[in-house]
Amino acid sequence: MDAYSGYNQIFIHPKDQAHTSFITDRGLNCYKVMPFGLKKAGATYQLMVNHLFAPLIGNTMEVYIDDMLVKSRAADKHIPNLSATFTILKQYKMRLNPTKCAFEVASGKFFGFMISQRGIEANPEKIQAILDITIPKTVKDIQSLTGRVAALTRFISKATALRPIL
């Protein structure tokens, strides 16, 4: 599930709104909701969702900024788990983006990984990107390859025992 314009769902305290002021040809304006681009916007949003969903996080739900995943070990528990999530969403008047929500799926991408009943797995697209890479010719190419491989090391047996590329 994805929050609809997540940052814009956080109201700025009236006393702090002046700190977000900006000038246009129509005069002086200020934000009433948290805009994208504020230095601490991401951390503030994460702190908020961690607080709101604290009873569910780690049990039936995972949240990363505006992406939410409701999980269940058994199919008959999924509707009650969704209900608990929707109760909190309704209580705090949070809206979801219906075009970015998927329900009743056995697996899916979350934070760049594949999540299923088997657990967390490597995203096949990321594996294919490594398989399709050309032989590195520059330092930047090697850094790119190293970064791609590093993102998948949790899925490579004994990855820490491998020797460095350079």
Question: What pLDDT does 54 receive?
Answer: 93
Residue 69 φ/ψ, nearest 5 degrees: -130, 120
Question: What pLDDT does 165 receive?
Answer: 58
Q: What's the CA gap between 145 and 135, in Å, rounded? A: 9
Q: What percent of the chain has pLDDT over 70?
A: 84
pLDDT digits (tens, 9 = 90+) for 36-92: 777 777 788 888 889 999 999 988 888 887 788 888 878 888 899 999 999 999 998
Write out the DSSP string of 82-117.
HHHHHHHHHHTT--B-GGG---S-S-EEETTEEEET
Q: Which residue has the higher pLDDT, 88 or 112?
A: 88
pTM: 0.61
When mean pLDDT is compared over 4-8, 86-90, 118-122, the highest value belongs to 86-90
What is the residue-averaged pLDDT of the chain? 81
Cα 30 to its chain centre, rounded Å, is 28
Q: What percent of the chain has pLDDT over 90?
A: 16
**Contact at 8 Å (CB) between 1 and 95?**
no
Question: What pLDDT does 162 receive?
Answer: 62
Q: Which residue has the higher pLDDT, 19 or 148?
A: 19
Q: Is 46 exposed, middle or buried (0-12, 13-18, 19+ CB in 10 A)?
A: middle
